[in-house]
Amino acid sequence: IELPDDPAGYFQDGWPVYRKIVDNNYMFHREIYGDITSFIGRRFQQRPISVLEMGCGDASQTAAALRNCRVSENDFPETLSEYAAMAEASGFSGVDPLNRYTWHRTLALVNR
C-alpha cells in the first residue's frame, strides 16, 4: 500500500464523494446514529458521561447523538481533518446533522 504524500489533501479531495455516500445514506448512517442515540438514552439517561470520539470528519452525527446528554468531558482527537476542529471550536453551531457533514465515527462512552 502506497501512502499519499499529502494525507490531508488526499482526505479533502475525497470529501465530496464521501458526502454523497453519507447524504444518500448508502452506509446507513441515519440508522446507526439512531441506534446510538437510543442506546445512550437508555443506558445513561441523564447521568454525566465522558466521550472519546475517534474518526475523521466534523462530528455532526456524534453531536446530534449527544444533544440531550450531560457530557462531562469530551475528546475529539483528529489528525487529518480541519472540519472536525472547526466544528468542535464552534460548539457544533450551524452543523446540520441530518444532511450535511456526516460520516461514520467510532464512539466510545465511559459511564461516570
**Among the listed ranges 36-40, 61-65, 101-105, which one has the minimum average pLDDT value?**
101-105
CA trace torsion 111, 32, 88, 57 (10° rounding): 130
Please give the single-letter amino acid code of residue 5: D
Tens-digit pLDDT profile for residues 58-100: 666 777 788 888 877 655 554 445 555 555 555 554 444 432 3
3-state secondary structure 29-84: HHHHHHHHHHHHHHHHCCCCEEEEEECCCCCHHHHHHCCCCCEEEEECCCCCCHHH
Q: What is the mean pLDDT of residues 12-23?
A: 81
Q: Are strands 106-111 and 49-54 parallel, antiparallel or unpaired?
A: antiparallel
- This prediction has a pTM of 0.55
The domain limits of the chain are 7-111
Q: Which residues contact residue 86 at a Cβ distance below 8 angstroms, ignoring those fewer than 6 apart?
A: 58
